[in-house]
Chains A and B, each alone.
Chain A
Amino acid sequence: MQNSLTPRYLVILIILGWSMFSLWPTIQYQSLTDDEKEDLREEGTLDQIESQVIRQGLDLKGGMYIELEADIPILVKNLASNRNEKFDKVLNASVKKFKADQSLDFFNILRNEIEEKGLKIVRYFHEYGSNLDDIILALEEETEDSINRVLEILQNRIDQFGVSEPTIQKKGKYRILVELAGIQDSDRARSLLQSTALLEFYLVKNSAVTNEIIIQLDNILKRSVSDEDLADISANTDNALDIKETNEKTDSDVTTIDEIFGETESMGENSAIHESDLLLESPIQSLIEFVQGDMAVNTKNLYSLNKLLSKEEVKLKLKSSSGQFLFSNDSETLSGSGQYYRLYYIEDKPELTGGVVEKAKANLGSLGGGNAGLPVVSLDMNSEGSKTWSRVTGANIGERIAIVLDGKVHMAPNIREKIPGGSTQIEGFADMNEAKDIAIILRAGALPAPVEIIEERIVGPSLGADSISKGQKSILIGLAIVFIFMLVYYRSSGFIANFALVWNIILILAVLASLGATLTLPGIAGLILTVGMCIDSNVIIFERIREELRKGKTPKSAIEAGYNRAITTIIDANLTTVIAALVLYQFGTGPIKGFATVLFWGILISMFTAVYVTRTIFYTITKKSIRNLSI
């Protein structure tokens, strides 16, 4: 068996090589300074790197964990038409039972209640089916659909909130789980999640005004980029002067900038990354391209542009010009390479808000109209909305109106004629699906059901930092004690065991990195516990070898016998712990799952490092027959 050790060396080398390979991004990432990370983020490559490193859990970096649940009874109530007292009675009775025992399924309770009271359910839900079974099934589907809509709305809002790496997932059928890293203002986050969506109609400013503002902003930025500190100070102290100066400068610059604009457009542009000299000369313009009459921003430049737009001096200038920049809701392929967001310069006050929309439906344009057979979205507004709408459209024929939901522009059609009566059709969709999506978003303007926060955990940044430093400290101390103990107790063999232990930890981290796992404080605890338990395999083996040596065997045969006899013990002992770890993982909510993941992999990997790797080392040592084994 130990004649040729080459295959063993190969296996070990390959696995060790793999572990270094998957840990490499993490090591690289750790060595980055904040400034370097910022640069990478501007380049748009940071996300890709971050997906390959071991991430820190919220308990380590601080953040907010929220679990929301949709109010199903209210949702059902909203779906019913022709509601009357009899219906409310049945619904209330079901709600009461549901509240008493949350483990029951609401729709089962409702079904039983309906059957018991003999309620003619078809009366209220004739659109959903003609018998109880069909209706309950349709209601269940509708509910799930609503949860998906809530998820979509929340996703939009959180993106607006500007948190890095947010997690938004469905949990079970009716729940949504949100994780936000590094949130300070938990109240703002909470109300953002719970408030209803906002639909707004803004007038889009015409292209002359838009060009003008970009030139002005670039001039402001140019100054602040060249002398950042000075710009910061002037922005805080003497804004009026700042703006005045900028305006003067602008007049003389107009022609040259227009040339640049023309040039960019005619090139029909597809180079995504800005040129550096252009960036210095006109930072905003260099990030914007003109496509199909709209301004567009490559996704790679989105962060940089957002950063520029969120600078104090830019905000101030925009405020004084009563305008704002908004992006389109989704990226699209506009020119040769990459994904683009459209950018709109619009009024800062909406003409109309979504509260006035009563219905939104996607259909095909009616025969005889200009849009016959084309997909359109029909909106119905209430009387107040209709009046405003007719006034706004009448006064701005030929202008564009931006339909903005949750701060993102969904479309900006041209106003062709005055629209009286409040019912309006939005056209210009690529296909029916797009029209349907828009209708969904318009309908989703308000959350379909109220959501309730059922679990909320916030870890402040100082506690997180404290946990990291203490976790690291206890790992180092724990390891040091075990190392010393093993060296004293088993001498040279203890060194081999320690060597295996180090590899065990490295391999666990490598597996975590390649799984894209998150390291939490319980995870660190799991790692430390694994250290204690992994050493057990070597203790079992070494004690066996000692026994065999005492019987008078040579080192070589003692090692062989020791490993062979220890292996069944190790497998039985480890597998039971693996079972416990698997159950923990299944049961686990966040923190426990992290602990279980590390424990599970730690034990599996220990079978490789503490048995296979150490055995190979012993074989190598005893290749030449030695008299004494240091154990």
Chain B
Amino acid sequence: MQIIKDSKIDFMNKSRFTILLSGALILAGIFSLIINNGPKLSIDFKGGTLIAVQYTKPININDLRSQLKNVNINGQSFDFSTSEIKHFGDNSNVSVRIANLENEPEKFSQNFIDILKDIYPDALPENKDDFILSIDKVSPKVGSELSGKAIMAIIYAITLILIYISFRFEFTYAIGAIAAIAHDVIITLGVFSILGYEISLSIIAAFLTIVGYSLNDTIVIFDRIRENMKALKRESVVSIVNKSINESLSRTVVTSLTTLFVVLTLYFFGGEVIHYFSFALIIGVLVGTYSSIFVASLIVVYMQPKA
């Protein structure tokens, strides 16, 4: 079986359209990031407490929210109705995200869980240990450290990859590859911002995986371009690049499809904990495949010295 046979698509000629498309996606993402004051960071980076519990009946979020309006812990009263409260996977599971509290009462999370238990006493699991799904508590100090580390990780990764590609190919290729990566990460970040999804530690890992995947895809095409540049010295850069993309198109499609299959199974069957992680990867695989052709290769064409 073969999906693509002897294709002769003039990819570089489509650049006007693709530049517009990429530009629109990037601008929409950046616009959303600006009006939302940057990406929505999870407690991993901002600090705070995230508590997820499991009831045995579907829970109405608005009802729970009003019940949390006036809560008393050790004589101190709190209003948690402005906290982020949402379903966690199933609609009988609930997660509550609480920002850092000043003067947090002792045993706060335990107290808070008791409050959640008391709100719906007849919807508790038989085995009381099953009620708590997870508790995550991060102090703002750790949060700021992690943000610093995440930024450093991205800088290190990009620098190392730049060095590697400059060494194996040429500097212009490295620029093309880095532009493709930036393109992918900004668009994925934009999609997360538009949909209101959080950037957590695992999403950063997903971003770095996207970087790896996008590069992998880009380099396979670059490799063909390098090979054809040597073999077909007389042809124009545009036609060599077009030919290379077409020659490796079958591989590009097959690999994107197989990777997409597994990432989709992760998204649909992997459970709540890696739901957003796999969502980021789906966007990443799609955008990464697109960018190796329409961003990375295009830049190589434009930056090639005109003979």
Q: Which residues of A contact B (CB under 8 A)?
A: 59, 67, 102-103, 184, 186-187, 190, 452-463, 466-467, 470-471, 473-474, 477-478, 481-482, 485-486, 488-491, 521-522, 525, 528-529, 531-533, 535-536, 539-540, 543, 546-547, 565, 568-569, 572-577, 579-581, 583-584, 586-587, 589, 591-592, 595-596, 599
The reply to whether A568 and B270 form a contact with Cβ atoms under 8 Å apart is no
A sample of 17 cross-chain residue pairs with beta-carbon separation below 8 angstroms, ordered by A number, consists of: A102-B144, A186-B109, A456-B136, A458-B136, A461-B130, A462-B125, A462-B130, A488-B1, A491-B1, A531-B262, A539-B255, A569-B219, A569-B224, A576-B161, A576-B215, A576-B219, A579-B160
SS class of chain B's interface: helix, strand, loop or mixed?
Answer: helix
Known: A574-B216, A576-B165. A463 touches B134 (CB 8 A): yes
Question: Which of B30-38, B115-123, B145-153, B296-304 makes up part of the contact surface?
Answer: B145-153
Q: Separation in Å of the A457 CB from the closest CB of chain B? A: 5
CA distance A482 to B110 in the complex (A): 45
CA distance A584 to B212 in the complex (A): 11
CA distance A432 to B123 in the complex (A): 62
Q: Separation in Å of the A468 CB from the closest CB of chain B? A: 9
B residues in contact with A491, CB < 8 Å: 1
Choose from B125, B135, B204, B273 the contact partner of A458 (Cβ within 8 Å): B135
Give the 9 A-B CB pairs with smallest separation, nearest first: A587-B153, A580-B212, A470-B271, A532-B259, A478-B262, A577-B212, A532-B262, A458-B135, A474-B269
Q: Decide if B188 is an interface residue (CB 8 Å cutoff).
A: no
The reply to whether B266 and A478 form a contact with Cβ atoms under 8 Å apart is yes
The reply to whether B110 and A532 form a contact with Cβ atoms under 8 Å apart is no
Q: Which residues of B contact A (CB under 8 A)?
A: 1-3, 52, 54, 107, 109-110, 125, 129-139, 141-142, 144-146, 148-150, 152-153, 156-157, 160-161, 164-165, 168, 201-202, 204-205, 208-209, 211-213, 215-217, 219-220, 222-224, 227, 247-248, 250-251, 254-255, 257-263, 265-266, 268-271, 273-274, 277-278, 281
> Which A residue sits closest to B227, measured CB to CB?
A565
Number of A-B residue pairs with CB-CB distance less than 8 Å in the complex they form: 222
CA distance A599 to B216 in the complex (A): 13
Choose from A486, A521, A596 the contact partner of B273 (Cβ within 8 Å): A521
The reply to whether B274 and A477 form a contact with Cβ atoms under 8 Å apart is no
Known: A455-B139, A539-B258, A579-B161. A59 touches B273 (CB 8 A): yes
The reply to whether A454 and B139 form a contact with Cβ atoms under 8 Å apart is yes
The reply to whether A457 and B152 form a contact with Cβ atoms under 8 Å apart is no
The reply to whether A474 and B220 form a contact with Cβ atoms under 8 Å apart is no
B residues in contact with A473, CB < 8 Å: 269
The reply to whether B156 and A569 form a contact with Cβ atoms under 8 Å apart is no
Q: Separation in Å of the B84 CB from the closest CB of chain A? A: 18
For the complex with contacts A457-B137, A458-B134, A489-B254, 19 further pairs of A-B residues with Cβ separation under 8 Å are: A457-B134, A457-B136, A461-B129, A462-B54, A462-B125, A477-B265, A489-B3, A522-B205, A528-B270, A533-B259, A539-B254, A547-B247, A577-B212, A579-B160, A580-B157, A580-B208, A591-B202, A595-B209, A596-B205
The reply to whether A591 and B132 form a contact with Cβ atoms under 8 Å apart is no
The reply to whether B212 and A481 form a contact with Cβ atoms under 8 Å apart is no
CA distance A355 to B257 in the complex (A): 68
B residues in contact with A591, CB < 8 Å: 201-202, 205
Choose from B133, B153, B257, B273 the contact partner of A584 (Cβ within 8 Å): B153
Choose from B129, B131, B265 the contact partner of A528 (Cβ within 8 Å): B265
> Which B residue sits closest to A188, measured CB to CB?
B110
A residues in contact with B260, CB < 8 Å: 532
CA distance A584 to B211 in the complex (A): 11
